């Protein structure tokens, strides 16, 4: 599941990078290069015309993907997501503007869809073997599923913005978030924005 999500991120990135620069001529089409790197436990690949500043573009892509991973990844132990998931109820997690906006969007979508999109179902994802915990050898019992459903619900999240900064808080122990549903879209939009600024 996670691998498929990551693949979709970089498929989108390929289109962004290629379309960001002017369409290559026939000669340039014969001189397309592939930039590659590692992020989020897998690899990324981007095809671009053979630019003089390709090393700069590659480093730029890697830099911002690494930054986004440090913010959004459930697999990176020191990410904002992981730090929040380890916190107890009523403990404030300091967040940045981008993270604040992502959570804000997630909560709005949750409300408009009557809970169909819920970033707090991380405990359910884990017991089915698609998350960060050790993959189970058996299917979860109905009792276990009910227990984990109880540990979900976007209503348990609260965004706080004051003179001290921006924070995310939970009102119940065991609440964990997973941003895989929105992370890939953010990464693509963020990268497109950065590259356009550098044009």
**CATH number of the domain that residue 155 is part of:** 1.10.3980.10
Choose between 69 and 94: higher pLDDT: 94
Instruction: Answer yes or no: do 67 and 97 share one domain.
Output: no
Instruction: Answer yes or no: do 8 and 88 share one domain.
Output: no
Domain range for 13: 2-74+185-198
Instruction: Answer yes or no: do 111 and 40 share one domain.
Output: no
Instruction: Answer yes or no: do 118 and 160 share one domain.
Output: yes
When divided into structural domains, the chain yields a total of: 2
**Nearest partner of 131 among 74, 179, 199, judged by Cα:** 74
The pLDDT > 90 percentage for the chain reads: 52
Instruction: Answer yes or no: do 100 and 169 share one domain.
Output: yes
- Give, to the nearest 10 degrees, the angle between helix 54-72 and helix 97-112: 60
Residue 111, CA distances (Å) to 78, 118, 148, 192 in order: 29, 9, 21, 28
Helix or strand or coil: residue 135? coil
Instruction: Answer yes or no: do 138 and 111 share one domain.
Output: yes
pLDDT of residue 151: 95
Instruction: Answer yes or no: do 53 and 109 share one domain.
Output: no
Instruction: Answer yes or no: do 104 and 160 share one domain.
Output: yes
> 57 is written with which tokens?
């573009």
The whole-angstrom separation of Cα 185 and Cα 28 is 29
H or E element, residue 170: strand 165-170
Choose between 11 and 196: higher pLDDT: 196
Instruction: Answer yes or no: do 95 and 170 share one domain.
Output: yes
- List CB contacts of 106: < 8 A, sequence separation 6 or more: 117, 119, 154, 179, 181, 182
């Amino acid at each position: 599941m996670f691998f498929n999500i990551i693949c979709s991120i970089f498929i989108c990135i390929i289109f962004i990078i290629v379309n960001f620069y002017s369409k290559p001529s026939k000669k340039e089409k014969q001189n397309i290069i592939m930039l590659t790197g590692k992020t989020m436990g897998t690899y990324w690949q981007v095809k671009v015309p053979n630019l003089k500043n390709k090393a700069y573009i590659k480093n730029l892509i890697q830099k911002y993907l690494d930054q986004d991973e440090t913010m959004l990844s459930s697999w990176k132990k020191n990410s904002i997501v992981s730090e929040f998931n380890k916190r107890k109820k009523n403990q404030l997690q300091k967040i940045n503007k981008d993270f604040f906006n992502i959570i804000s969007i997630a909560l709005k979508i949750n409300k408009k869809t009557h809970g169909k999109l819920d970033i707090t179902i991380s405990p359910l994802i884990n017991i089915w073997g698609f998350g960060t915990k050790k993959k189970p050898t058996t299917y979860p019992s109905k009792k276990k599923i009910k227990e984990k459903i109880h540990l979900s619900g976007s209503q348990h999240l609260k965004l706080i913005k004051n003179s001290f900064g921006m924070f995310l808080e939970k009102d119940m122990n065991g609440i964990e978030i997973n941003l895989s549903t929105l992370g890939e879209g953010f990464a693509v939009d963020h990268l497109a924005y950065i590259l356009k600024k550098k044009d």
